[in-house]
Chains A and B, each alone.
Chain A
Amino acid sequence: MEDHIIDVRNLSKQYPSGFQALKQVNLQIKRGEIFALLGPNGAGKTTLISIICGLVNVGEGEVLVGGYDVVKQYRQARQQIGLVPQELAIDVFAFVWNTMVFSRGVFGKPRDDAYLEEILKALSLWDKRHAKIQFLSGGMKRRVLIAKALAHEPEILFLDEPTAGVDVELRRDMWRLVEKLRQRGTTIILTTHYIEEAEEIADRIGIINNGEILLVDNKRDLMKKLGRKQLILQLQQPISQLPKELQKFVFDIDEDGKKLTYDYDDNQSNNNVTEVLAAIHRSGIELSDVQTKQSTLEQIFVGLLEESK
């Protein structure tokens, strides 16, 4: 059996306003993986995370964290989790060091200054430990939130849109930290709108829209399964119209008639690149360059969302 550190079963959630934010969600997170939850605004990402972390009541269904029910065994379940919320929600009048000590304590761990020092250093916050949070920049405040979430050495780290409003450097620092945590065996779940981000660091990706999980897959398989490919042909001589040998294929000709693009599915049986190339050969068109392009997750994502509409 696979080791699922988080197991969400048939989870539905209706807010008191009557809004159905989650519909029969099933999701299993493997121990030690980096999982990216992708979805547009209002998809239900934060709601899902909030339920797992105990901030929002479970509607129907059940959620297990490390085998513990988040309602009945909330202590054991929550001990394992560190959460970095989407909003910069923090007591701005507190001092960095004190807020770290608080975070560790409230999660039931004895004080360990050496460990807190290590985290603050890893997040380049050590110099700011005596600063009032009020006087830190937005990016630093976000780092403080991350440091707080790690203060009790959680096995699972939730990052709810960690890179919103964060500059390139901090983003790089953050991914370095995520990588380090993963090497220690921490499971990381992050939500994002930036698909390149998921593409860059996640092992698996889940796509959520309108409170429904549309698909969960290994990043590579996902790209393979849903990835569309493009064949791009640069011509030596411009053409104004497709030669008759090529007319049975759907080509896109660019304005100056020097570039042909052909879309195909990698895994479909109608994968007929060979035929296309043979037809080109027969037509006598001379090529200056041939290129293939794989669609990015972004395109996959947009495609999926359109399909689900």
Chain B
Amino acid sequence: MNWYAIKAIYLSELHRSWRTPLQSIASPVLSTSLYFIVFGSAIGSAMTSIGGVSYGAFIIPGLIMLMVLTETTSNASFGIYMPKWSGAIYEVLSAPVSAFEIVVGYVGAAATKSIILAMLILLTARLFVDYSILHPLWMMLFLVLTCITFSMLGFILGVVADGFEKLQVIPLMVVTPLAFLGGTFYSISMLPEFWQKVTLFNPVVYLVSGFRWSFYGTADVSLTFSLVMISTFLLIFLLFIWWIFKTGYKVKV
């Protein structure tokens, strides 16, 4: 293992985020705060509680997921797309590093950044809403798994995309809608029966449900199923990355 290389990639990627603190930290924290104010405090005060949890507290896990999914995907994709675009990627590609080490460096950094972001949002939420975390260890496990999984998705996007537009399409047109419809603002039991069935095809439902369970002990789907689903995504993305490097797809000719 080339540990120095992993460290170099990891640190320089984290560094890249510090260079733009407004964009990478302040703006997602601010926009989540707006959700808390509007949905949590303003609208939430007029809503009945869901499963014994006040509406303001109910939406916290979902909102964190929403922000983590979109931010992680786009941040991780930029991390690899930018050097590809500028040509600076030549250095990593000519270095004595394995594909695995490259992925650990880039994905690790993106995931770390997302975890930090999630923590900041969680702390900020405290200013607006009172909440409790029933299973903090499970909460961390879900968070870490989700951050890693979507960092990998971002990495894949960054490798495959051949233009800035394509880079933004997936986070904006796929991840955001799925996250919005994944039970962030409601329990899926509140939907008509038909839509409940449809919703089960939305992978984000399982992430939000499991994450919310770790806060309040209530879930839309079973905990095991949530874990199985997130592990499945992790595995799929991992295989895809492995395939990318194996075939050199869009990396080397």
Tell me the A residues contacting B by CB distance below 8 Å. 15-16, 53-57, 74-79, 81, 83, 85, 87, 89-94, 98, 101-110, 148
Q: Which of B82-90, B152-160, B181-189, B237-245 contacts A (4 or more CB under 8 A)?
A: B82-90
Q: Is the CB of A55 within 8 A of B5?
A: no
| Residue B130 lies at the interface, judged by CB distance under 8 Å to chain A | no
B47 to chain A, nearest CB (A): 44
CA A16 to CA B252, docked complex, whole Å: 10
- B82 A105 Cβ-Cβ under 8 A: no
Contacts of A78 in B (CB 8 A): 94-96
Which of the listed residues A76, A77, A92, A98 has the most CB atoms from chain B within 10 Å of its own CB? A98
Contact residues of B with A, CB < 8 Å? 2, 4-5, 7-9, 11-12, 15-16, 19, 82-83, 86-98, 248, 252-253
**Shortest beta-carbon contacts, A-B, top 6:** A105-B8, A89-B87, A75-B96, A78-B96, A53-B94, A106-B8
State whether B4 touches A90 (Cβ < 8 A): no
Contact residue among B4, B15, B83, B93 (Cβ-Cβ distance under 8 Å from A55): B93
Instruction: Give A146 Cβ to nearest chain B Cβ, in Å.
Output: 13
With beta carbons under 8 angstroms apart, the residue of A15, A85, A92, A108 that contacts B96 is A108
A102 touches B12 (CB 8 A): yes
Residues of chain B with a CB closer than 8 A to A16's CB:
253
Q: A89 and B90: CB pair below 8 A?
A: yes
How far is A107 from B94 in the complex, measured between Cα atoms in Å? 9
The 8 listed contacts between A and B (C-beta, < 8 Å) are A75-B96, A77-B96, A85-B90, A89-B87, A89-B88, A107-B5, A108-B5, A108-B96
List A contacts of B83 (CB < 8 A): 91
Chain A residues with CB below 8 A from B15, complex form: 94, 98
Least CB distance from A296 to B in Å reads 33
Question: Once bound together, how far apart are the Cα atoms of A225 and B6, in whole Å?
Answer: 51
Q: Check if A56 sits within 8 Å of B253, measured CB to CB.
A: yes
List residues of chain B with CB within 8 A of the CB of A106.
4-5, 8-9, 91-92, 95, 97
Docked complex Cα distance between A4 and B111 (Å): 44
Give the residues in chain A near B4, CB-CB below 8 Å. Answer: 104-110
**Roughly how many angstroms separate A180 CA and B26 CA in the complex, as a whole number?**
49
**New A-B contacts (17) at CB < 8 Å, excluding given A101-B8, A106-B92:** A74-B96, A76-B96, A78-B96, A83-B91, A85-B87, A89-B86, A89-B89, A90-B88, A92-B86, A93-B19, A102-B12, A104-B8, A105-B7, A106-B4, A106-B95, A107-B95, A108-B97
A104 CB to closest chain B CB (Å) equals 8
The docked-state distance in angstroms from the alpha carbon of A287 to that of B221 is 106
Residues in B neighbouring A57, C-beta threshold 8 A: 248, 252-253
Q: B88 contacts A98, CB within 8 Å?
A: no
A92: which B residues are within 8 A, CB to CB? 86
Task: Give the complex CA separation of A56 and B94 in angstroms.
Answer: 9
CA distance A104 to B82 in the complex (A): 20
Complex CA distance for A66 and B88, rounded to whole angstroms: 26
Chain B residue numbers with a CB within 8 Å of A105 are: 4-5, 7-8, 11
A33 to B162 alpha-carbon distance, docked (Å) = 40
In-complex Cβ contact of A54 among B9, B87, B94 (8 A): B94
If A57-B253, A78-B96, A101-B8 touch, does A108 touch B2 (CB 8 Å cutoff)? yes
CA of A103 to CA of B19 in the docked complex: distance in angstroms? 19
> With the chains together, A78 CA to B83 CA distance in Å?
20
* Alpha-carbon distance A159/B248, docked complex (angstroms): 25
**A90-B86, A105-B5 known; A79+B96 contact, CB < 8 A:** yes
Contacts of A108 in B (CB 8 A): 2, 4-5, 95-97
Within the complex, the shortest CB–CB distance from B83 to chain A, in Å, comes to 6
Q: Is the CB of B94 within 8 A of A83?
A: yes
C-alpha gap A199/B191 in the complex (Å): 79
Instruction: Indicate which residue in A75, A103, A110 contacts B91 across the interface (CB closer than 8 Å).
Output: A103
Minimum Cβ distance to chain A for residue B240 (Å): 20
B153 to chain A minimum Cβ distance, whole angstroms, is 23
Query: Roughly how many angstroms separate A93 CA and B83 CA in the complex, as a whole number?
Result: 11
CA distance A20 to B90 in the complex (A): 22
Question: Is B82 in contact with A91, judged by CB distance below 8 angstroms?
Answer: yes
Complex CA distance for A7 and B97, rounded to whole angstroms: 22
Q: How many angstroms between the C-alpha atoms of A255 and B8 in the bound complex?
A: 68
Residues of A within 8 A of B92 (CB): 106
Q: Which partner residue on chain B sits nearest A81 by CB separation?
A: B94
Complex-state Cα separation, A104 to B2, whole angstroms: 12
Contacts of B7 in A (CB 8 A): 105
